Structure 1
Amino acid sequence: MATAVIMPRQGQSVESCLIGEWHVRRGDQVKKDDPLFTYETDKATFDEVSPVDGEVIAVFFEEGDDVPVLLNVLVIGQAGEDWKEFIPEGASADGADQTADAGSTKVDAPEKSQAIAAHAVKQDPVPISPKASPVDAPISPRARTLATKSKADLRYASGSGPGGRIIERDINALVAAGHLATSAAGADYTAGISGSGIGGRVRVDDLDQIPAISVQETPAASLPLSELPEYEDIKLSGIRKIIGDAMHSSLTNMAQLTLNTSFDAGDIIEFRNRLKEAKTKGLDQLLGFSLLEKVPTFNDIILYAVSRTVLRYPDCNAHLLDDKMRHFNHVHLGMAVDTPRGLMVPVIRNADSMSIREIAAEAVSLAEAAQSGAINPDLLSGSTITISNLGSLGIESFTPVINPPETCLLGVNNISTRLRMEDGEAVPYQAMGLSLTFDHRAVDGAPAARFLQGLVKNLENFQLLMMEN
């Protein structure tokens, strides 16, 4: 019996996923748990495996397609078996020229599909900008794919999604209104181009306003220097594009300012050394000190100190939402993690109620999940303040970019030896740098500086902070 493989739902907030890479093609024989395809959310990458043994008898989508969750992606069965009943709406490969059976678009979810359709009928008309302008608003992966296929002119788009995000219905509205680029010009052009065609459409001649970019893959083979190509163009992944859009939107829409300071790291260094010495003496076994099972890192200490400090400065543990500030009664720490797929920010929820040992364990678990690509997208949202640590890379100071709609992001720098005057003598000490970026629309300089000052005091007296908590 034929078995349809659907696009999984990775988290409650995910509506669609991009197919990144196919590992099989029609006619291939597969075994249960063999990898079928790689798919991407706007936060992470996953692999879908085969639920059964059999032959791939239909593949409905191509690499790069944005597929709604719970939609049929491919069918596994026996050679010659009929698969037409599984054809989903919007198929771009097998079944693209045929009409899907209305009841088979989604597996085990017909009632939900009908509810969504009924809701769509009641939506208000989507506004369209009367004047072309550069595209600054973020755009969903599904909307970007539709814009490329339909050649919609994004310069006229008015985002109707959360935070002004351009979503699929905004693209449909552009197409309905006739705001398109010409077929020859395509849709992949810089948003600031002034179209000279009818109605402001971008024509081929307009593309001369920017350097032409040839997107081609040239394998970096082992060739003599004279035979190597001058450069290689590598297509950006979906996650890389989303990260880029988010960073650009953050810097464009916020009034960001960074304060830099440093603190005497002697107390946190002594704290870690005492724990290491106690562990060497076997006190974790003799006295049952659970904290000695894994000595907290400097990053764990920073996370703990922020969770205990920021609640006294509510504007720094907040979201700026249009015309209001949302102050949170608990601290949900975003933790910037470098992964092979790009920057991810998993969230340690309710960190203010966790012990330093619990924070350390959660940080390790989330980082490993993010780096492996197996993290649930729901764990990558909802932070109230984010920490980005580049100290291990020797960075002395940097300007972190805020993760909207948060109002602050704390950058952690390296430890270096500095001098200070004591009784007329220059005395060396170990200093750690901190860089706090804040949104000046939401927080003034003095309150941001007071938060940074309070954090410094807690870190310089960390062992007292631990005793207090």
Structure 2
Amino acid sequence: MATGVIMPRQGQSVESCIITKWNVKKGDSVKEGDVLFEYETDKAAFEEEAKVNGTVLEILAEEGDDVPCLDTVCVIGNEGDDISEFLSASSGIEEEAEVKNEAGEAKEEVVIVSTKKGDEEKVSPRAKMMAEEKNLDLSKAVPTGPDGRIIERDVLTLAKNGFKIVKGEDNKEVCDAVDVNVANNAEIAEYEDIKHSNVRKVIAKSMHASLTNMAQLTFNRSFDATEMMSYRKTLKKSSEAMGLVNITINDIIMYAVSRTLLQHKSFNAHYDDEKLRVFNNVNLGMAVDTPRGLLVPTIFNANKMSLNEISIRAKELGSMAGEGKISPDLLTGASFTVSNLGSFGIESFTPIVNPPQTGILGVCGLTDKVKVVEGNIVPYKSMNLSFTCDHRAVDGADAARLLKDLCENLENFSALLAK
């Protein structure tokens, strides 16, 4: 009996996912656990494994398709199995697309072009257009798309290593082995177009909306990090004996933020034009730099966690985000965000509030300063904090008070732990 493979739902907020790569093709034999295809949401990437043994009888979606969650993308079974129910469902989708196309929406179709005598290849319109622009011989392209289809990346490969069509003496097109990198050196060296990833599109949209719709104001203040650094040094010496993880400076700051926000609830909130939604617990967003772009996982109920528990959870979320395997449900719901650029030596910056939150804390690097203590000049380690708030939701004095209390809590971190 044939089995349909559906597009999984990765998180309650996800409606569709994009297929980025097929690892199998029609007719391939697969075993349970084999990776069938790779797909991504707007912020994370995943692999879908086969749940049954059998043969890939049909592939119903192509690389680059944005597939609604729970829709069938391929069928696995035994040769001769009836798959008409899956094909009819797919046909219904295609008919709907055709109706939309007649109403004026463009529809991309696979086109057949003759690349040389007696040889016809299936080529996507984008690949065909790119090949014509670069005057490339598509017969030399190696198809990597579904069912032997030549797609855009195959033409890009051809542009680097392939053949160019040139004119002979009789003005007929002939194929010469031409080093395209040399022939089109001026064009290729001038620039390279890199398509925006889905993550970058989401970041761009969110950040633009943030600056467009909010009245943002940034405050900067430094604090004496002597006690904080001394406490962390003590932890490092005794962490193994006490069964603690490697607690970082960022963990300590997030702990302090989770406690300080409870006394400044307007910043532990979401703002809209009608109301301010104030949260009773701190759901702390943690900005993470990943190969896919900026992601912000959420440490839910951080105010109820110990310092060690916050550190453990931060490492778990950071690892999942870095690998691109994090659930979208863990990338939403934050009531406040911490963004740390201290490891890059940044001394001050303007973090952008992630709507509908009302504030974000930017953590900067350590610097050496001096102060006068009882008439003596004393060197010390200082850290700067950059705090941006939404001035529609709160006043500047409120933000200044929050930043003052946070700095005092960090300067007296042992006392904060005792509360």
Deviation, structure 1 residue 421 = 3.0
Aligned partner of 1:339 in structure 2 is: 290
Aligned partner of 2:202 in structure 1 is: 242
For 1:265 and 1:256, the matched residues in 2 are separated by: 27
- Alignment check: 8 A CA contact 1:410 1:437 kept: yes
- Alignment check: 8 A CA contact 1:72 1:88 kept: no
Deviations 1:119-146 (A, max 9, x none): xxxxxxxxxxxxxxxxxxxxxxxxxxx9
1:81/1:309 CA distance change after superposition, 3 Å: same
Comparing 379-388 with 228-237, greater Cα deviation is found at 228-237
For 1:61 and 1:43, the matched residues in 2 are separated by: 21
Aligned partner of 2:117 in structure 1 is: none
Aligned partner letter, 1:420 = K
Aligned partner of 1:54 in structure 2 is: 54
Tell me whether 1:77 sits opposite 2:47 in the alignment.
Answer: no
Counterpart secondary structure, 2:217: strand
- Alignment check: 8 A CA contact 2:371 2:379 kept: yes
Deviation, structure 1 residue 276 = 2.6
Aligned partner of 1:263 in structure 2 is: 223
The aligned runs of 1:11-30 (5 Å cut-off) are 11-30=11-30
The aligned runs of 1:167-186 (5 Å cut-off) are none
- Alignment check: 8 A CA contact 1:19 1:67 kept: yes
For 1:390 and 1:422, the matched residues in 2 are separated by: 30
Deviation, structure 1 residue 294 = 2.0
**Cα root mean square deviation, aligned:** 2.8
Aligned partner of 2:143 in structure 1 is: none
Aligned partner of 1:406 in structure 2 is: 357
Aligned partner letter, 1:76 = I
1:445/1:150 CA distance change after superposition, 3 Å: farther
1:467/1:225 CA distance change after superposition, 3 Å: farther
Deviations 1:143-182 (A, max 9, x none): xxx9xx969xxxxxxxxxxxxxxxxxxxxxxx98xxx79x
- Alignment check: 8 A CA contact 2:43 2:198 kept: no
Aligned partner of 2:328 in structure 1 is: 377
For 2:94 and 2:73, the matched residues in 1 are separated by: 16
Aligned partner of 1:464 in structure 2 is: 415
The aligned runs of 1:289-300 (5 Å cut-off) are 289-290=242-243, 293-300=244-251
- Alignment check: 8 A CA contact 1:71 1:88 kept: no
Residue 418 (structure 1) aligned to one of 363, 369, 376: 369
Deviation, structure 1 residue 423 = 4.2
Tell me whether 1:38 sits opposite 2:38 in the alignment.
Answer: yes
For 1:362 and 1:402, the matched residues in 2 are separated by: 23
Aligned partner letter, 1:331 = V
For 2:15 and 2:246, the matched residues in 1 are separated by: 40
The aligned runs of 1:54-453 (5 Å cut-off) are 54-87=54-87, 89=89, 91=90, 218=156, 227=185, 228-279=188-239, 284=241, 289-290=242-243, 293-453=244-404
For 1:2 and 1:238, the matched residues in 2 are separated by: 33
1:63/1:394 CA distance change after superposition, 3 Å: same
Among the aligned pairs, what percent are the same residue? 52
Deviation, structure 1 residue 272 = 1.2
Deviations 1:77-129 (A, max 9, x none): 2334332211375x4xx886579xxxxxxxxxxxxxxxxxxxxxxxxxxxxxx
Aligned partner letter, 2:4 = A
Counterpart secondary structure, 2:189: coil
For 2:398 and 2:381, the matched residues in 1 are separated by: 27
Deviation, structure 1 residue 224 = 7.1
Aligned partner of 1:162 in structure 2 is: none
Counterpart secondary structure, 2:228: helix
- TM-score relative to the length of structure 1: 0.69
For 1:270 and 1:250, the matched residues in 2 are separated by: 38
Deviations 1:314-345 (A, max 9, x none): 11100002210011111010111111211111
- TM-score relative to the length of structure 2: 0.77
Aligned partner letter, 1:11 = G
Deviations 1:160-219 (A, max 9, x none): xxxxxxxxxxxxxxx98xxx79x79xxxxxxxxxxxxxxxxxxxxxxxxxxxxxxx7645
Task: From the CA coordinates, give the structure whose radius of gyration is larger.
Answer: 2
1:462/1:224 CA distance change after superposition, 3 Å: farther
Name structure 2 gaps, 5 residues minimum: 108-151, 162-180
For 2:16 and 2:359, the matched residues in 1 are separated by: 30
Aligned partner letter, 1:37 = F
For 1:354 and 1:366, the matched residues in 2 are separated by: 15
For 2:100 and 2:267, the matched residues in 1 are separated by: 43
Counterpart secondary structure, 1:229: helix
For 1:60 and 1:307, the matched residues in 2 are separated by: 48
Deviations 1:203-261 (A, max 9, x none): xxxxxxxxxxxxx7645959679835322222222222122211111111111111111
- Alignment check: 8 A CA contact 2:21 2:63 kept: yes
**How many residues end up aligned between the 2 structures?**
351
For 1:31 and 1:229, the matched residues in 2 are separated by: 45
